[in-house]
């Protein structure tokens, strides 16, 4: 209970500020319209108008909520205007990309930890890959893959994987190197093979690091998918909703897509968090 009150207070402050900003930003349009129609607006009429425009500069919270409600609950989920439909398109590419990124990240980390050449050679490239703006590389990947006849889910998933493998590599390299010299010496006194040391010591030791990375990676995968949906002129997915909203000045649609994406990201991070709790608890490593 004592957690809910501060959270609700912050939320109330944000909503109040949002309404104030909406009134301020949308009032110019309302006054221009009134001047054209040669009518005088009272303050009450002005406020009412700024909060109910079709294409406001900044939609009011209730407009976004109404749009969200309409496009998730009232629309059939097969409809092209349903956010659930678009959310699913984005989610499926996100999950595929997250999966590819995680597997690639773990594989690279295993290589880096066990192979001197990879240790020296791979990490700089992995870091360099993340310094390239994803907005610059995403269209190229899509164009290249398209010319190879691959389109739709796969290119988006690859861009999602491109963003999500990195935190997994960094976290897993750290995690696989977590065992200290004493624990490694102990394995040596047993004359354990590299494989046994990996499965019985390094991998279990790395679990807390893995889950911390996965939380970052799953959010990054979602961002990657949405970015991939922007330049391809995609007609499906949350990214496409953002793009078409900005084409047609549908700010309410943009904001509701943004909130849908944020909610999806939050849900994914929470699911990974729950998984982390369950696994670490079963391993006796929960704090």
Residues binding other proteins (CB under 8 A):
182-183, 185-192, 196, 200-201, 204, 207, 283-285
Of 118 and 207, which CB lies nearer to other proteins in the complex structure? 207
Residues 6+ apart with CB under 8 A from 16: none
Going from the C-alpha of 224 to that of each of 97, 115, 154, 252, 261, the distances in angstroms are 9, 30, 12, 23, 12
Sign of CA dihedral 89, 92, 95, 101: negative
Which is closer to other proteins, CB of 199 or CB of 248?
199
Smallest separation, CB 180 to other proteins (Å): 8
Q: How far apart are CB 279 and other proteins at their closest, in Å?
A: 10
Query: Is the Cβ of residue 25 or residue 203 nearer to other proteins in the bound state?
Result: 203
Q: In terms of Cα–Cα distance, which of 242, 243, 256 is closest to 63?
A: 256
Q: Residue 197 Cβ, how far from other proteins at the closest point, in Å?
A: 9
CA angle (8, 9, 12) in 5-degree steps: 85
Which residue's entry shows tokens 């624990």? 183
Q: How far is the CB of 282 from other proteins (least distance, A)?
A: 9
- Measured at the CA of 156, the angle between CA 153 and CA 157, to 5 degrees, comes to 80
Token pair 């439909």 is found at 85
Closer of 201 and 238 to other proteins (Cβ): 201
Closest distance between other proteins and the C-beta of residue 18, in Å?
47
Do residues 56 and 33 make contact, with C-beta atoms less than 8 angstroms apart? no
Whichever of 2 and 191 has its CB closer to other proteins, that residue is 191
């Amino acid at each position: 209970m004592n957690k809910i009150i501060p959270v609700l207070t912050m939320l109330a402050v944000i909503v109040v500020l949002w309404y104030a900003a909406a009134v301020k930003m949308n009032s110019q349009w309302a006054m221009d319209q009134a001047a054209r129609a040669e009518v005088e607006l009272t303050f009450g009429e002005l406020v009412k108008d700024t909060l109910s425009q079709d294409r406001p500069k900044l939609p009011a919270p209730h407009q976004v909520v109404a749009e969200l409600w309409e496009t998730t609950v009232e629309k059939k989920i097969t409809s092209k205007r349903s956010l659930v439909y678009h959310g699913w398109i984005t989610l499926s590419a996100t999950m595929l990309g997250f999966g590819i990124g995680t597997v690639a990240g773990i594989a690279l980390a295993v290589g880096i930890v066990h192979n001197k050449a990879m240790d020296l050679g791979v990490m700089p490239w992995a870091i360099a890959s993340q310094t390239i703006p994803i907005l610059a590389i995403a269209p190229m990947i899509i164009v290249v893959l398209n010319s190879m006849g691959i389109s739709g889910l796969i290119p988006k998933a690859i861009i999602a994987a491109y963003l999500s493998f990195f935190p997994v590599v960094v976290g897993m390299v750290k995690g696989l190197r977590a065992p200290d010299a004493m624990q490694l010496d102990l394995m040596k006194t047993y004359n354990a093979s590299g494989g046994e040391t990996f499965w019985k010591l390094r991998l279990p030791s790395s679990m807390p690091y893995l889950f911390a990375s996965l939380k970052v990676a799953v959010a990054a995968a979602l961002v990657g998918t949405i970015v991939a949906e922007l330049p391809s002129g995609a007609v499906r997915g949350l990214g496409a909703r953002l793009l078409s909203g900005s084409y047609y000045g549908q700010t309410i649609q943009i904001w509701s897509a943004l909130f849908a994406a944020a909610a999806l990201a939050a849900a994914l991070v929470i699911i990974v968090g729950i998984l982390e709790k369950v696994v670490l608890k079963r391993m006796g490593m929960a704090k």
